[in-house]
């Protein structure tokens, strides 16, 4: 994972990185899930492949998970303590909206804080099969992070991980607009 840039947002350290989120060494990794907990494609499939089937099994046991809520599971073989499943859609491979991206990002941040984790890594929420454009998802996610930052008691570092240059740049641009 390559660090692209770092920002301070309302007392939080926000790190923009490029690469494979499953290689992050953090307390929690966020899965932009579906309400059923099925980890069939995109980031979810990568998390399951790197961390093991146990992650999906636990997520499905906690389903249904409404959009706007989040649940934690073990992280299996990942270098994290938890995977936080925050649905951006009700069913697997469904299109989603910026509003659902906001709700999922907020639910994941609140769950991370509730779990007492210091660092959490987010992929582009809703940007894969969900179909939300990178810039719109990045703006929504940064907006939520900025709004919640003063309320967070445990989370000190948020990683925004783009699996490609374009997504990492969308995160960086959204953060630069906030800090200028």
β-bridge mates for residue 160, sequence order: 16, 122
As assigned by CATH, the class of the 2-179 domain is alpha beta
Supply the pTM of this predicted model.
0.98
pLDDT given for residue 180 in this prediction: 66
Q: Where are the domains of the chain?
A: 2-179
Q: Which two tokens stand for residue 164?
A: 């490609």
pLDDT at 131 over 90: yes
pLDDT at 179 over 80: no
HSE, CB side, 13 Å, CA atoms: give it for residue 5.
Answer: 16
Torsion, Cα of 33, 85, 74, 160 (10° steps): 100
pLDDT given for residue 178 in this prediction: 84
């Amino acid at each position: 994972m390559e660090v692209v840039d770092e920002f301070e947002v309302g007392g939080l350290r926000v790190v923009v990185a490029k690469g494979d989120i499953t290689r992050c060494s953090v307390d929690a990794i966020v899965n932009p899930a579906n309400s059923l907990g099925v980890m069939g494609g995109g980031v979810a499939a990568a998390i399951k492949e790197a961390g093991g089937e146990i992650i999906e099994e636990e997520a499905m046991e906690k389903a249904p998970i409404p959009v706007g809520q989040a649940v934690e599971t073990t992280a299996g073989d990942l270098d994290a303590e938890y995977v936080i499943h925050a649905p951006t859609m009700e069913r697997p491979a469904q299109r989603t909206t910026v509003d659902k991206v906001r709700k999922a990002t907020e639910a994941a941040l609140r769950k991370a804080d509730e779990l007492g984790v210091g660092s959490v890594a987010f992929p582009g929420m809703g940007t894969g099969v969900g179909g939300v454009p990178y810039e719109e998802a990045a703006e929504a996610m940064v907006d939520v992070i900025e709004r919640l930052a003063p309320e967070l008691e445990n989370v000190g570092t948020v990683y925004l991980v783009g699996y490609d240059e374009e997504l990492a740049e969308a995160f960086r641009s959204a953060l630069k607009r906030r800090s200028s």
